[in-house]
């Protein structure tokens, strides 16, 4: 583990993930943390974990971005004390809350994410996983597909403020950079000790549009779609057999 991003979700985590991958790092973002280490991270969030468990989980990973790693940054740093920290914040708490709420609305409005996901084994596990992260990070109400989850924005802003304040207080001074994407490659590469790439600095998930891309392209949703296709086939066959014996 070389890099831990301590910034909360909606502070530019997807862009930072892309930037680090351009620089050659093996990055576990939200998707990879769930797909490859879901049970381990779920245990860490719900019950806690040891330094040795964290070290074993992430020994082959170069960098982590987004949740749940950002809320477990101290545990990860204890396991990898030489890792560098990248911290990002929005211009204001209100800007962050607006972006956070827009992301929640994007998830709510996506039919696949809201209605199809809970019908499959992987989808139900993903729902339990994200519910645990929401409770741990923001005390969000448990998500059910038939009920719109309420979001207490003032409380979320308080948690966001507390997280940022704690990072600034507790992070080792020589190991952290307070970064804005508008700063571009130069300060980031200087901090990490890597060459500046020849490609433009990336920009991902503007306005929360990555939800549709995530549903279409991520490995977890590919698996969910396979499972829903299998279940639909079984249901069709059972209905066919039932109709056959009914009209026989």
- DSSP per position, 37-91: HHHHHHHHHHT---HHHHHHHHTT-SEE-STTGGGGHHHHHHHSTT-EEEE---S
Query: What pLDDT score does 56 carry?
Result: 97
pLDDT tens column, 64-119 = 999 999 999 999 999 999 999 999 999 999 999 888 888 777 766 666 666 667 77
Look at the chain and report how many structural domains it folds into.
1
CATH number of the domain that 239 lies in? 3.40.50.300
Query: What pLDDT score does 209 carry?
Result: 56
Residue 112 CA to residue 197 CA, distance in Å, equals: 37
Q: pTM, whole model, 2 decimals?
A: 0.82
Token duo for residue 197: 């790439």
Segments forming the whole domain that contains residue 28: 3-247
What is the pairing mode between strands 27-28 and 63-64? parallel
């Amino acid at each position: 583990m070389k890099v831990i991003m301590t910034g909360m979700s909606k502070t530019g985590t997807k862009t930072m993930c892309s930037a680090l991958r351009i620089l050659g790092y093996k990055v576990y973002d939200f998707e990879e943390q769930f797909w490859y280490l879901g049970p381990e991270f779920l245990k860490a969030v719900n019950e806690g974990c040891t330094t040795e468990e964290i070290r074993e989980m992430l020994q082959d990973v170069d960098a982590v971005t987004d949740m749940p790693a950002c809320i477990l940054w101290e545990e990860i740093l204890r396991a990898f004390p030489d890792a560098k920290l990248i911290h990002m914040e929005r211009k204001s708490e209100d800007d962050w809350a607006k972006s956070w709420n827009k992301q929640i609305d994007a998830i709510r409005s996506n039919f696949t994410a809201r209605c199809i996901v809970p019908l499959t084994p992987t989808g139900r596990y993903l729902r339990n996983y994200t519910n645990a992260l929401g409770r741990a990070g923001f005390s969000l109400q448990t998500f059910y597909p038939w009920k719109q989850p309420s979001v207490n924005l003032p409380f979320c802003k308080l948690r966001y403020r507390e997280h940022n304040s704690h990072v600034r207080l507790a992070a080792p001074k020589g190991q952290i950079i307070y970064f804005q994407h508008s700063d571009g490659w130069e300060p980031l590469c200087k901090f990490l000790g890597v060459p500046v790439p020849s490609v433009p600095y990336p920009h991902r998930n503007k306005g929360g549009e990555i939800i549709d891309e995530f549903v279409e392209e991520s490995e977890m949703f590919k698996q969910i779609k396979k499972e829903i296709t299998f279940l639909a086939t079984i249901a069709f066959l059972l209905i066919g057999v039932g109709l056959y014996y009914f009209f026989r």
